[in-house]
């Protein structure tokens, strides 16, 4: 009897863990972009579009001395992007090194999201800029953003190292498709001459499970706990 109870409860706990640690949503569409953009034909792009979960891969592009590189790891619990940017001037105009994530997600029920991001950069010369943005939008409505944050630093505001940091939590309403966009950029103008701007960082988007699944895990653990017999 004890072994049957253990096996049954173990199965319940495994299923509960799986449900508790994953969130219910559909990744409708996606594009994971790395690019170095100047004036055509001074353009190079890479990345992945239309991925399905789980997904893990890296992409790197170069144009001259400019580089955009990112590693992507996506599943039902979190989306993680780790990136590196090098910015250098183009032949006649500015170049922008970019890493950009575009997700269209449709939650089956209200989806609680937690994110954190950090972008460390170094702008050693004038004519450089670093920027980051993250937001969630209704693609069919021009109403205010569900959530958004943006930060930009120009070398004229101060040369040298700097950092962007942001974090927050919000809830994405169920039963409609939402557009989630993040962008990290390093821009270098010809005035920077031979100097390079550099940067690296990450964006982590976590999908928080409902507490009901965790309650089932706790209940299963109590059921498995050894019971003491009372001897009279």
Write out the residue range of the structural domain in which residue 9 sits.
1-21+210-225
CA 30 distance to own-chain centroid: 12
What is the count of structural domains for the chain? Answer: 2
Q: Is the pLDDT of residue 200 over 50?
A: yes
Q: Span 90-97, mean pLDDT?
A: 88
Tens of pLDDT, residues 18-68:
444 566 999 999 999 999 999 888 999 999 999 999 999 999 999 999 999
39 and 148, same structural domain?
yes
Which residue do the tokens 């569409």 mark? 29
User: How confident is residue 209, by pLDDT bands cut at 50, 70 and 90?
Assistant: confident
| pLDDT of res. 14 | 41
In a domain, 230, yes or no: no
200 and 214, same structural domain?
no
40-44, 88-92, 222-226: lowest mean pLDDT where?
A: 222-226
In a domain, 231, yes or no: no
4-8, 20-24, 192-196: lowest mean pLDDT where?
A: 4-8
- Phi, psi dihedrals of residue 181, rounded to the nearest 5°: -130, 130
Q: Span 91-111, mean pLDDT?
A: 94
| pLDDT of res. 228 | 52
In a domain, 2, yes or no: yes
State pTM to two decimals. Answer: 0.82
- 3-state class percentages of the chain: helix first, strand second, coil last, to nearest 5: 15, 55, 30
What CA–CA distance (Å, rounded) separates 96 from 88? Answer: 8
What CA–CA distance (Å, rounded) separates 176 from 26? Answer: 10
Which residue do the tokens 């992409």 mark? 59
Higher pLDDT, 189 or 193: 189
* Nearest Cα residue to 47 out of 141, 192, 36, 175: 36
In a domain, 188, yes or no: yes
* Nearest Cα residue to 172 out of 107, 75, 78: 107
221 and 156, same structural domain?
no
User: How confident is residue 226, by pLDDT bands cut at 50, 70 and 90?
Assistant: low
Across-strand partners of 164? Answer: 119
Q: Taking a C-beta distance cutoff of 8 angstroms, is the pair 46, 35 a contact?
A: yes
| pLDDT of res. 216 | 45
DSSP 180: E
| pLDDT of res. 193 | 84
| pLDDT of res. 89 | 85
In a domain, 215, yes or no: yes
CB atoms within 10 A of CB 225: 7
183 and 129, same structural domain?
yes
What CA–CA distance (Å, rounded) separates 130 from 186? Answer: 5
66 and 37, same structural domain?
yes
What CA–CA distance (Å, rounded) separates 100 from 49? Answer: 12
115 and 46, same structural domain?
yes
| pLDDT of res. 138 | 93
- Burial level of 213, CB count in 10 A (0-12/13-18/19+)? middle
DSSP letters of 117-158? EEEEEEE-SSSEEEEEEEEEE-TT--SPPSEEEEEEEEGGG-
SS3 29: strand
What CA–CA distance (Å, rounded) separates 59 from 70? Answer: 6
Which residue do the tokens 């950092």 mark? 163
What CA–CA distance (Å, rounded) separates 76 from 67? Answer: 30
111 and 183, same structural domain?
yes
97 and 13, same structural domain?
no
């Amino acid at each position: 009897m004890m072994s049957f109870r253990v096996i049954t409860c173990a199965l319940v706990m495994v299923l509960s863990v799986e449900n508790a640690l994953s969130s219910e949503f559909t990744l409708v569409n996606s594009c994971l972009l790395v690019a170095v953009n100047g004036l055509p034909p001074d353009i190079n792009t890479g990345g992945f579009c239309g991925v399905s979960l789980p997904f893990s891969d890296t992409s790197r592009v170069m144009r001259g001395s400019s580089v955009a590189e990112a590693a992507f790891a996506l599943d039902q619990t979190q989306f993680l992007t780790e990136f590196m940017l090098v910015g250098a001037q183009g032949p006649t105009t500015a170049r922008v090194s970019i890493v950009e994530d575009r997700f269209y997600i449709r939650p089956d029920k209200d989806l609680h999201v937690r994110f954190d991001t950090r972008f460390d950069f170094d702008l050693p010369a004038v004519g450089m800029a670093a920027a980051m943005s993250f937001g969630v939008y209704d693609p069919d409505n021009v109403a205010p953003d569900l959530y958004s944050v943006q930060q930009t630093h120009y070398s004229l505001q101060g040369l040298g190292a700097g950092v962007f940091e942001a974090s927050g939590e919000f809830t994405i309403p169920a039963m409609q498709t939402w557009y989630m966009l993040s962008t990290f950029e390093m821009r270098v103008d010809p005035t920077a001459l031979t100097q390079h701007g550099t940067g690296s960082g990450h964006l982590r988007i976590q999908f928080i499970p409902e507490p009901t699944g965790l309650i089932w895990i706790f209940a299963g653990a109590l059921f498995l706990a050894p019971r003491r017999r009372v001897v009279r």
